[in-house]
Structure 1
Amino acid sequence: MVFQLPWKSSGDNVKPAEESTLSLASASGSPDLRREVEQHAVEESTRRSDPISFLYSLESTIPHAELLTTPYVAVAFITGIAAGACGVFIWNRWLRRIRTAEWVTPDIITRRRWVKGIVTSVGDADNFRLYHTPGIGWRWFRRVPSSAKDLKDQTIHIRIAGVDAPECGHFGRPAQPHAEESLSWLKNRLEGRSVYCQLVRKDQYGRVVAVPVVPRRFLPSFLGKRWASPLALEMLRAGTVTTYEQAGAEYGPWSREAFLRVEAKARAARRGMWKSGGGGETPAEYKRRHASTPPSSE
């Protein structure tokens, strides 16, 4: 059985005169006739590449196609394409979840984009893991995983900008004094909490250096970032960290001098690691001392 289209195909629209002209041009080899045929082919190709002209061309192939060629349909057609492109842009820029630090593109870093998420764990006293939660409905309609298996390759490793915490014991190396107290303070402050992070750059360990702020309780989400508390300054006031002053240090909207002033006040008040008066080895000095020492295998 041969399937018949309910309308004429584009090939059926070629008039006998046009067919004979094409054949004559090919057979006779007349330059003028060949040039006219080629010009007609170019015009036909241009017409088909234009979406509006394409709609009008349907009049010759589809019965009642004039319904498709009204200005309203043309506007709706173009509006639909624009809305789809706009939706894709919004999804990619604000609603798509950033799973890991590898998903943080150079464009995100250049724009110093703010992201919101839930802190799932704290490693050392100056870094943590963030589960990115874009959009709305989290903890109500959308669940944040809680098991280590479900969180694998689903969190961004954040390094807090502008501060340096006492080093915990790693690879057989002893921990610095007050390292456990600083780690405990950060765990109590962050784990399970929502935070906003301004992504600044990536460090040599693949972590994302960021400026985190903690929203104040009982405030609506849209006010969270504006009325949030800067985490780095909180840590300096509590005496759990020192000011990071190495190459590439970032302090967000504040200056290095502002960080040092807050640290000096914590020293004077003998808070946290300064309760004995200070004067011990700083985290930067500790790392320099152990940089040339191979880690113990024990």
Structure 2
Amino acid sequence: MPVIPWPAGWNKGEPPEEIQGLVSRAQAKLNAIPAPVLALSAFALGSITTVSGTLFYRRYFRRLQNGDWVTPDVLAKKRWVKGRVTSVGDSDNFRFYHTPGFGWRWPIKFRIIPSTAKDLKDKTLHIRIAGVDAPEAAHFGKPAQPYSEESLAWLRQEILGKTVYCQLLRRDQYSRIVRTLLLTEETFIYHWASGKSLSLEMLKAGWVTTYEQAGAEYGKWGKEEFIRVENAAKAARRGMWAKGTTAESPSEYKRRHAQADSADTTRVVDKRAAPTSGKATSNGKTNEKTGWLGRLFSK
């Protein structure tokens, strides 16, 4: 068995002279520092380490449990987060389980994503895909729009159960988190920089239209690119454009039903506002004194 060539004097139980000298000089410099300065330095170093560790954990390892964890300061930073799509309820929104840090995949897997609806309750983020508008499904007694089922099936095929990157942007009127979404390749290392825009992929397949209402988000690609991709899908008659471009768009569908609902509300209000306070007399005049109080004063 080979012998490790220890410095001379090491086998006698004493460290080499060089190491003794280094230790002595370090001890002398440490003793020269006043005790208050040494205590203050130790406190400052501990504080910096604690704060840095906390910020590092919050940025890279803290899991966003649900929408309540997405605070205004998080949205202001427009952070990119990685996670697994657990359910797709409509053609332009889904549920997202945030998976920060590492430990979610083999060979280094020690964290588990719940698989049942009960275990996932209040542990996912409700995501609205930015920049696109999909055919409306049946809601609140309204009929489904043509191609809504096909659009939903396409989205489920593309993202359900897969890891995606999302950029947090803002909340919409339904408290959903509006996000730019990127699809990444199924490799050992995921990275948002190599992903494809899900919004543009949906437009390319012809299953959505460009969302042009106030507050629309288009990411680094811009509105012009969204419209260009949509027009290309229309020209190729892909997806919902298979029979031409005369079909009612999702925005037109919602506008039509909103106007119908408004008209129904107006009719109900008009009926309730009909005069009931007086009764017509034999000479055509209205008797303002009605009920037992009117009869009392009429005697």
Q: Distance in 1 between matches of 2:84 and 2:61?
A: 16
Q: Is 1:187 aligned with 2:140?
A: no
Q: Distance in 1 between matches of 2:184 and 2:69?
A: 25
Pairwise CA distance, 1:254 = 1.3
Unaligned segments of structure 1, at least 5 residues: 1-65
**Between 84-93 and 266-275, the greater mean CA deviation after superposition:** 84-93
Pairwise CA distance, 1:277 = 1.3
Aligned-residue Cα RMSD (Å) equals: 2.3
Pairwise CA distance, 1:294 = 4.9
Pairwise CA distance, 1:77 = 3.8
Unaligned segments of structure 2, at least 5 residues: 1-31, 263-299
Pairwise CA distance, 1:70 = 8.2
Pairwise CA distance, 1:257 = 1.1
Q: Is 1:173 aligned with 2:139?
A: no
Q: Which of the numbers 81, 88, 91 marks the counterpart of 2:57?
A: 91
Q: Is 1:148 aligned with 2:117?
A: yes
Aligned ranges 1:249-260 → 2 under 5 Å: 249-260=216-227
**Does the 8 Å contact 1:164/1:242 carry over to 2?**
yes
What is the SS of the residue equivalent to 2:104?
Answer: coil
Pairwise CA distance, 1:109 = 1.1
What is the SS of the residue equivalent to 1:79?
Answer: helix
Q: Distance in 1 between matches of 2:257 and 2:102?
A: 45
Aligned ranges 1:1-298 → 2 under 5 Å: 69=35, 75-139=41-105, 140-218=109-187, 220-221=189-190, 224-294=191-261
Higher relative contact order (CA 8 A, sep 6+): 1
Q: Deviations over 1:201-220 (max 9, x none)?
A: 10000001100001122262
**Does the 8 Å contact 1:197/1:212 carry over to 2?**
yes
Pairwise CA distance, 1:75 = 3.6
Q: Distance in 2 between matches of 1:232 and 1:190?
A: 12
Q: Residue 274 of structure 1 aligns to which amino acid in structure 2?
A: W
What is the SS of the residue equivalent to 1:167?
Answer: coil
Q: Deviations over 1:41-62 (max 9, x none)?
A: xxxxxxxxxxxxxxxxxxxxxx
**Does the 8 Å contact 1:216/1:229 carry over to 2?**
no
Q: Residue 270 of structure 1 aligns to which amino acid in structure 2?
A: R
Q: Deviations over 1:112-137 (max 9, x none)?
A: 11111100001111011100111111
Pairwise CA distance, 1:95 = 1.9
* TM-score, normalised relative to structure 2: 0.72
